[in-house]
Structure 1
Amino acid sequence: MNPSIEKLYQIAQKEKRTIIGLMSGTSLDGLDVALCEFTGSGDQTTVVLKEFLTIPFESQTKSEIRSVFAQQNIDFPKLCMLNPWIGRLHGKMVNRCLKTWGMKSDDVDLIASHGQTVMHMPKRLHKNELFPDSTLQIGDADHLANETGILTLSDFRQKHCAAGGEGAPLALYGDYLLFSSKQENRVLINIGGIANFTFLPSTGDFSKVFATDTGPGNTLIDAFTQKHFDKAFDENAIIAKRGQLSIELLDTLLEHEYFTQSVPKTTGPELFNLDYVKKAIAESGVEISKEDILHTLCHFTAKSLTQEIKRSVNLEPDTVIYLSGGGMHNPLLVELIKQELPNVHVKIMNVLGVSGDAKEAVLFAALANETLAGQGFISPNNSEERFFMGKISLPL
């Protein structure tokens, strides 16, 4: 028997599994690396976050990814070369983390790699009946596995598309495994490049659980800040706080049909980008400062997020909202969310035992744990079928 296959079988039988979750989102800040210890599977899954680091991307890495990221026309040879390059880069970053933590590759059972999204194209966006829902993440896991010497699961979103979903948001599955509660209804908001939320009813009824993207998270705020203020992001919303809300621009930004489509739904920077903002400014006819635009973009994220929550979730008195992702560090954004949801408790994810910054990396580790040791998940379009996510890459 292939020794790696035998090792995979042995890992699945272990009482506890050490899994590293990797996440690099649309914000391109860096690679989130979460060292997790899992026990059990399904609704008996428990996780302890042992270590967490974010390894920032160098400017060249960001530039290389942006050259193909959500672009209509790209240098195709560049995309081909980036796929293994990103895989090796992520592997080197994992090795750096292991050295920092005083660990060896043999101390880790598995890596769960999200990869780097470069295009997300659900049918609701491409509207071509010939083609299915599609998404593309690069960072080849064979190269990552060889770089680290650790078995690797990757390409989770492809199986979701194959099973009838849109490839996102996948938080639904990990959130249900790790954060369901019988004491309260929970809405878990993640504000990365794109904002999404998961609704977890206190009944534990999976048929009532759902997750959906709501629109832009940090993607427009960060892109506008980078272009017009030469900063990676608006730290503590200092620039945005200097501006004022333009009702006319906000209303125009919210006019897209996406915001009236039923949930669950997905989106990305392919739709919500600076061209979208430029068009909205022209259509609204406003003449405002760049600070006012940035301030209004914060309102746009908060409004599109909270209006979907109010439309889709019965916010009973015991409902609690938990925030994660980079947006939880934006004080203006958090305050706007609280203003839109005045009768709901809003807390930071950390109180549930997992850092809000690490949550997405932890969730992909949870998906890998379920694929290896669990019974899988209900198919997105067939309650009688179950499916598992992730392709397996064996190290040399």
Structure 2
Amino acid sequence: MALFVGLMSGTSLDGVDAALIDIDDTSRPRLVDALCLALPADLRASLLTLTQADRVDFATLGATESAFCDAQAEAVSRLLARQNLHPDEIVAIGSHGQTIEHAPDAASPFTYQLDNPSRLAELTGYQVVADFRRRDMAAGGQAAPLAPIFHQALFTDAERTRLVLNLGGIANLTRLAPSSRHAPVIGFDTGPANLLIDAWHARHRQAPIDENGRWAASGQVDETLLARLLDDAFFRRPPPKSTGREAFHLGWVERHLSGEEASANVQATLAEMTAVSVARAALPFVEADRTDLIVCGGGARNRHLMARLAHHLPAVALLRCEDFGWSADWLEAGAFGWLAWRRLRGLPGNLPEVTGARGPRVLGGIYAP
């Protein structure tokens, strides 16, 4: 038994997810326990500002990074205290950090995750593996998504095609062909998911989440607005591709509004945009009666969004992460614990066919306690 902690804070900025996983060489990684530590309001506000800022000062950047690292350490402490684990029982922490800017298609590509693994190692006393994305980008890749290699380890079936859909702030899709075909994994971001749904809800309903999509379900889809949103060039680009808040944010939504739309109808349209963009991305991989869709991430809890996905993808069988011993909420955090395990064993953490990198690369740096 080898225990690792994976840490993830995604584009939704709702909290630090910490997943305790058990890994060995003979079976699939097993989820032991997990929790989400909500980000303090001032820290969340600072992170949100940084993701949208054209310029930042170093003092703000440093203070925000330290506060974020403190939240990560608190999440680890609470998780391990709950399990009553001795420090020697944890091999390492895999820390993703908080993405502030992701620009894989810039003239000089870069991706920046706010993190301080040295501070995290100091605060927790554990070995930390971090900075997973930039090695892939250095090899010409998008540096995202990285979870498909973990999906491959968990969900590949001998005979059925498996589509793994992560509905976080951004939606990303993984295609796992039956293992009997020896086909490459395909994975890419499909566009915005909870990021815009949550932001529009927060602005108009003064609550961070549209629980079960009730507000979206109360509105009517504006087909004209939907067509304008889906006309964005990102949706037409072939993979490999990835995106984030720098491309999709409330300002992007506002540029497509006439000003006459009812706010509930915009919410319904944003949910429909996610469902349609995912379905369009998935349909080329769907084989009738032979395809499963496994949905993870916070959007898996949105009943309205799930219903719209089922409507647009009637030929797929919807499966739950829980059917495989995982919760939909902790798959991303678990992936970075597993990637830390691969780093310590000197194993590649990327899939070149997914990211576009020139080849397999060992991802992440190691920070001693």
* Shorter-chain TM-score tier: over 0.9
> Which residue in the other structure is 1:6 paired with?
none
TM-score (normalizing by structure 1) = 0.88
SS of the aligned residue for 1:281 comes to: coil
Verify the 8 A CA contact 2:36 2:75 in the aligned structure 1.
Answer: no
Look up the equivalent residue of 1:299 and give its one-letter code.
E
> 1:100-150: CA deviations, max 9, x gaps?
222232221110011111111111xx3x2xx13x21111201100111100
5+ residue gaps in structure 2?
none
Question: Are 2:22 and 1:37 aligned?
Answer: yes
Aligned pairs, how many?
Answer: 367
> Which residue in the other structure is 1:51 paired with?
33
Q: 2:307, 2:358 → 1: CA distance?
A: 42
> Which residue in the other structure is 1:28 paired with?
13
- With over 3 angstroms needed to count, the CA separation of the structure-2 counterparts of 1:157 and 1:205, relative to structure 1, is farther
- Cα offset for 1:314? 4.2
SS of the aligned residue for 1:74 comes to: coil
Q: 1:354, 1:94 → 2: CA distance?
A: 19
> Which residue in the other structure is 2:2 paired with?
17
> Which residue in the other structure is 1:292 paired with?
265
> Which residue in the other structure is 2:57 paired with?
75
Q: 1:62, 1:143 → 2: CA distance?
A: 20
Q: 1:38, 1:352 → 2: CA distance?
A: 15
Aligned equivalent of 1:363, options 335, 351, 356 = 335
Q: 1:368, 1:275 → 2: CA distance?
A: 36
> Which residue in the other structure is 1:143 paired with?
119
- Cα offset for 1:158? 1.1
- Cα offset for 1:49? 0.9
Verify the 8 A CA contact 2:212 2:301 in the aligned structure 1.
Answer: yes
Verify the 8 A CA contact 2:156 2:179 in the aligned structure 1.
Answer: no
SS of the aligned residue for 2:307 comes to: helix
Q: 1:221, 1:320 → 2: CA distance?
A: 25
Q: 2:91, 2:349 → 1: CA distance?
A: 22
Aligned equivalent of 1:351, options 316, 323, 342 = 323
Verify the 8 A CA contact 2:167 2:300 in the aligned structure 1.
Answer: yes
- Cα offset for 1:315? 2.8
SS of the aligned residue for 1:109 comes to: strand
Q: 1:315, 1:357 → 2: CA distance?
A: 27
Please identify, of 296-305 and 340-349, the stretch whose mean Cα deviation from structure 2 is larger: 340-349
- Deviating above 6 A after TM superposition, structure 1's stretches of 4 or more consecutive aligned residues are 381-384
> Among the aligned pairs, what percent are the same residue?
32
Q: 1:374, 1:207 → 2: CA distance?
A: 24
Look up the equivalent residue of 1:387 and give its one-letter code.
R
Question: Are 2:64 and 1:92 aligned?
Answer: no
> Which residue in the other structure is 1:3 paired with?
none
Aligned equivalent of 1:376, options 332, 343, 348 = 348
Higher relative contact order (CA 8 A, sep 6+): 2
Structure whose alpha-carbon radius of gyration is higher: 1
- Cα offset for 1:245? 0.7
Please identify, of 208-217 and 368-377, the stretch whose mean Cα deviation from structure 2 is larger: 368-377
Look up the equivalent residue of 1:280 and give its one-letter code.
H
- With over 3 angstroms needed to count, the CA separation of the structure-2 counterparts of 1:334 and 1:111, relative to structure 1, is same
CA RMSD, aligned part only?
1.9
> 1:22-42: CA deviations, max 9, x gaps?
1111111111111111001xx
- With over 3 angstroms needed to count, the CA separation of the structure-2 counterparts of 1:385 and 1:241, relative to structure 1, is closer
TM-score (normalizing by structure 2) = 0.94
- With over 3 angstroms needed to count, the CA separation of the structure-2 counterparts of 1:384 and 1:294, relative to structure 1, is closer
Please identify, of 214-223 and 170-179, the stretch whose mean Cα deviation from structure 2 is larger: 170-179
Aligned equivalent of 2:138, options 162, 167, 174 = 162
Q: 2:167, 2:322 → 1: CA distance?
A: 14
> Which residue in the other structure is 1:338 paired with?
310
Question: Are 2:364 and 1:390 aligned?
Answer: yes
> Which residue in the other structure is 2:42 paired with?
60
> Which residue in the other structure is 2:158 paired with?
182
> 1:82-107: CA deviations, max 9, x gaps?
22332233112211222222223222
Q: 1:196, 1:385 → 2: CA distance?
A: 21
Verify the 8 A CA contact 1:164 1:380 in the aligned structure 2.
Answer: no
Q: 2:326, 2:189 → 1: CA distance?
A: 21
- Cα offset for 1:237? 1.3
- With over 3 angstroms needed to count, the CA separation of the structure-2 counterparts of 1:254 and 1:383, relative to structure 1, is closer
Q: How does 1:148-297 map to 2 (within 5 A)?
A: 148-203=124-179, 207-282=183-258, 287-297=260-270
Look up the equivalent residue of 2:15 and give its one-letter code.
G
> Which residue in the other structure is 1:7 paired with?
none
Verify the 8 A CA contact 2:193 2:274 in the aligned structure 1.
Answer: yes
Verify the 8 A CA contact 2:163 2:174 in the aligned structure 1.
Answer: yes
- Cα offset for 1:316? 4.2
